[in-house]
Structure 1
C-alpha cells in the first residue's frame, strides 16, 4: 500500500477514536513532519484548532484522501517549518 506524504500546513482527518478523539473533532493541521519511525512509517506533529498543544501521529492514523487546505487562525506552514526556537523572540534580562 502506497503511503501518502503530507507537509506542514496540510489539513487532515484522523481515523475515528484516535486517542479518544471524537469523530466530530477529527480534523487537524500538520504542524511539522517528524523523522520516520523505527518501523519505517511516516510521523507527523498535528494540532486541533481548539487545542493549544500538538500530538504525534503516524501515517496510519490519518484517513487517506482527505487533506490539503491550511486551517485559519493557526501558525503558517512557513513558521512551523522554521522550528520551535525563534531567536528574535528570546528576552534576556540583565
Structure 2
C-alpha cells in the first residue's frame, strides 16, 4: 500500500460523498503525489471547475471507475528517475 498506483496527469474518479453535492463532478486530475502518511499514499488533485487543489488518499479513489492506472513497472521506473542535480555538469573554478 506504500507505492502510488497512479501518476501525475492521470484522471481519476472519487468515491461518492467526498464532494459537496451528489450531482457534483467526481472526476479530477492528479496534480502531484505527496509523501506517504503512515503507509497511505496521498495525492493532490484538481477539479476542472475549481481553482484550488485538494488532498486525498488512495482510499478516496473509486478504483472501479478510474480508467488510468499506472503499471507497477512504470511506477518503479519513476521512483528511480534520478536526481535533478547533475554532478558531472558542475564546474569548479580554481
Q: Name the structure with the higher helix share.
A: 1
Total equivalences in the alignment: 68
CA-based RMSD: 2.6
TM-score, normalisation: structure 2 = 0.62
Gaps in structure 2 of 5+ consecutive residues: 70-94
State the shift of 1:8 in Å: 0.5
Structure 1: gaps (5+ residues): 70-94
CA contact under 8 A between 2:46 and 2:52: conserved in structure 1? yes
Runs of 4 or more, structure 1, over 2 Å off, are: 19-24
Q: TM-score, normalised by structure 1?
A: 0.62
* Larger radius of gyration between Structure 1 and Structure 2: 2
Aligned to 1:27: 27
For 2:51 and 2:43, locate their aligned partners in 1 and report how far apart those are by CA, in whole Å.
Answer: 16
